[in-house]
Amino acid sequence: MTNYFYRAFNLILQSDVICPTLEVVEPQKADVIIQQECLSHLQTDHQYHGHPGRLFFHIPGIATFDVRDGNTILIDLSDCEDMALAQVYLTGSALGSILHQRGLLVLHGNAIALNDEEAVIFVGQSGAGKSTTANAFMRAGFEILSDDVSAIEFDAQGQAWVMPAYPSIKLWLDAAERDYDINGLTPIAHRENKFYVKAEAKFCHGKRKVKAVYLLEAGLDFEATPLQGVKAFDELHQQVYRPYFVYLLGQQKQCFTDITRLAKSVEFSKLTRPLNHSHQALINLVTQAKLSGATT
């Protein structure tokens, strides 16, 4: 069987399933093996199951996944009716499981490189405008590290770093139409009104220090409110990607510690803005607030 080699979240993946959204690399020693295997014994219900070191789940009509020890994804595609959607789950939930198992803090949000050293992360509810914000930054000349999932690791000094994910962002039809020729874009499987936009040219390949985390919210006025204390913790812990994975893996303590570390070590603010607001004001605020030397 053909093996494909990819890099995602600073990990080398060796996969016998093709993943068109990931960054292709030369064959080399892999951190994570993705392999097709019969998992019919795990197709019991539609729930997510797990225990320390392991998560498994069956998405009916799509795929069954068994994710182990932060280094193996077994995938059963025997009942797959939509390969594109299986790939979405593989690069989303399954890879997200790997990141949790490897002890990274995984947030539901995207990361934008401000310069050669630092990045900011945007989190927020679905529809808060995370991906359109990423797109606006990309079009303004900034490099993106990730769309949707941001994986954070702390070094020995307690500095938070965000990993480069993969070079594509997902946009809703209306946002995609504004800036791109729709005919040239790939729809995301069943969601015909959401499209992949390739970001290869503006993809940041190296990890960056987390400078700030911004919680995006729709509102009437353009406003930035610093978040602190219990409130900061409360808002940030709601941004964890697939929190039940943390629970199933029994990693609540580490997740708790990492959230408090992140909240204490970086600027964390809520950004409220009208949804039809120009992105330029937001870009200015984020890049000029306390920063200098943003890439152009």
Partner 1 sequence: MILDKINLETRLKRRPDLVASNMDGETVMLDMESGQYFGMDAIGSVIWDKLQMPTSVADLCHALQAEFEVDAKTCEQDVSEFLQELVENGLLEVVE
Interface with partner 1 (CB under 8 A)? 228-230, 232-234, 237, 247, 252-253, 256-257, 260, 263-264
CA nearest neighbour of 98 among 70, 72, 66, 69:
70
Q: How far is the CB of 243 from partner 1 (least distance, A)?
A: 10
Residue-level length of the chain: 296
Burial class (CB in 10 A: 0-12, 13-18, 19+), 155: exposed
CA nearest neighbour of 17 among 81, 84, 97, 96:
84
Q: How far is the CB of 163 from partner 1 (least distance, A)?
A: 24
Q: How far is the CB of 264 from partner 1 (least distance, A)?
A: 6
CA distances from 185 to 168, 192, 245 (A): 11, 11, 32
Q: How far is the CB of 188 from partner 1 (least distance, A)?
A: 33
Q: Which is nearer to partner 1, 46 or 253 (CB)?
A: 253
Q: Which is nearer to partner 1, 144 or 263 (CB)?
A: 263
Tell me the C-alpha distance between 26 and 5, whole Å: 6
Q: Which is nearer to partner 1, 199 or 263 (CB)?
A: 263
Q: Which is nearer to partner 1, 220 or 230 (CB)?
A: 230
Rg (the chain; Cα; Å): 19
Q: Which is nearer to partner 1, 130 or 242 (CB)?
A: 242
Tell me the C-alpha distance between 241 and 108, whole Å: 5
Q: How far is the CB of 247 from partner 1 (least distance, A)?
A: 6
